Amino acid sequence: MTTEEILSILEQQNMTEILELIEDAKSGELEELELVESIGLLADERLNRAVLDLLRSLGVTITYVKYDEDED
């Protein structure tokens, strides 16, 4: 999936927060993103993988943290 395709899908689905993350990554304002691996960033696995790959290509380090239900 190309960057243009990713951005188009995100725009069509009104995923403004994800678009903002990408813009922050492009401008160098986003260097690291922490995610719960079992949840990810987006529900759509294919789009999730594409967005994470795009963020990595923009220099963002993806760090996975464990979700601990006991802490809730």
Q: Which of 21, 24, 13, 16 lies closest to 46, judged by CA?
A: 13
- The reported pLDDT for the residue numbered 39 is 86
- Residue-wise pLDDT tens for the chain (72 aa)? 999 999 999 999 999 999 999 999 999 999 999 999 888 899 999 999 999 999 999 999 999 998 776 655
Q: Residue 69 has what pLDDT?
A: 63
> If DSSP codes are grouped into helix, strand and coil, which group holds residue 70?
helix
Query: Any residues with CB less than 8 A from the CB of 3 and at least 6 apart, and which?
Result: 54
Q: What is the pLDDT of residue 71?
A: 57
